Amino acid sequence: MSWHSVIGQERVKKILQRSFTTNKISHAYLFHGPEGTGKDAAAIAFSKLLNCEHPDNGNSCNTCSNCKRISSLQHPNLQFIVSMPVGKNEKEGDDPFKNLDQKTITEYRQAIADKAENPYYRINLAKANTIKINSIREIRKSINLARAEHGKKVIVISGADKMNDSAANSLLKTLEEPTPNTVIILTTSNHDKLLPTIISRCQMVRFELLREEEVRKGLIERDKTLDEQQAILISKMANGSFQRAQELTGADLVSQREEMIDLLRNILARSPSVWMKEIEGFLGPKDRYNVVRSLMLLNLWVRDAMMLQNDNGDAIVNLDQQEPLDKFIAHFDQADLTAVINAIERAIALVEKNIYLSLVLLNLAFDIRQFIVRR
């Protein structure tokens, strides 16, 4: 069934299934909600349902030619639009691919293939900062072509908030003149950046953060090499985003966790002049995403220490850290670990807001020392 590719979001699935079974399909939808929660996955699954040759009670068969071709994002009834780089000497009205170099076209084709393989894959082409007006104008050309296929024409605009002003106004004209047997689906994690006039012409479908259990189960189903403990750790760090969870599976989380525990030990055992150098060495070539990931691992470790401190050992995540955790809480039995967790979460928020990394970690180190070494 097509909906198997969408993790969780049972309410969303029911809304879309009901619209299909009652033949009350909107000409335009706006799938909005946190990043990585399955908006693109649901758009592709709904496209399959709208074009399936043998639908059954709001489910596509997943085996007919139409289902297979839409799954591969290679069906004439499906147009999947993403941010694209501007081609050399590209002018308004040009084909959006016409002036792109071969390297960029190859990169785009590979990204689409990766998206077809994994609908939670994040497409991020080099120098592709906006959805171009030429990409949006292709919608009208596509709509006007006679359909030789069964089903409906579906246009998915992924990351619709990245449309520039010209592209947004061009889309608005298309939305104002709905075309029979055409469905436009906008997906975005920032719907407040869209024109209110665009929002008002779409049926809004809200996506929620995924539950940890849904993320854990989805990871294990899709990656047979992942063990239960890894899946639990990643689902805790994913913050309800399956996209983030999948990106975490490729990281060496154990090494990153050990690095953070070593940094914690240095902060607690050495003088500020020493661990200030340790912080600079820790940052090294790391980007903000890696720093956030490291802080999240530290946060989970401290959370486990707090669980043990409160005689709730059954709730710990880092099961292989039982001994060092026990030693930690025995040595720092008066530590205010709730305050430490709050300090780490504040630091994560500041890193995500592009505050100077060294300053954020330096302030965090002082806070950690203050809340743990309470003399």
Question: Domain residues of the chain, as ranges?
Answer: 2-208, 214-249, 253-372
Q: Which residues are 163's β-sheet partners?
A: 131
**316 pLDDT above the threshold of 70:** yes
Classify domain 2-208 at the CATH superfamily level. P-loop containing nucleotide triphosphate hydrolases (3.40.50.300)
Q: pLDDT tier at 92 (50, 70, 90 boundaries)? A: confident
Q: pLDDT tier at 189 (50, 70, 90 boundaries)? A: very high
Calpha distance 315→354 (Å, rounded):
33
Neighbours of 132 (CB within 10 A): 26
**144 pLDDT above the threshold of 80:** no
Mean pLDDT value of segment 195-221 = 95
Calpha distance 253→153 (Å, rounded):
43
Q: Which residues are 156's β-sheet partners?
A: 80, 185
Q: Are 143 and 179 in contact (CB under 8 A)?
A: yes
Nearest to 65 by CA among 149, 168, 152, 5: 149
Q: Which distant-in-sequence residues (6+ apart) come within 8 Å of 230 by Cβ?
A: 249, 253
Q: pLDDT tier at 109 (50, 70, 90 boundaries)? A: very high
Instruction: Output the pLDDT for position 333.
Output: 85
**332 pLDDT above the threshold of 70:** yes
pTM metric for this prediction: 0.82
Instruction: Output the pLDDT for position 8.
Output: 94
Q: pLDDT tier at 281 (50, 70, 90 boundaries)? A: confident
More confident site: 283 or 215: 215
β-strands 78-81, 28-32: how paired?
unpaired
**375 pLDDT above the threshold of 70:** no
In the chain the first and final C-alpha atoms are separated, in Å, by 61
126, burial (CB in 10 Å: exposed 0-12, middle 13-18, buried 19+): exposed
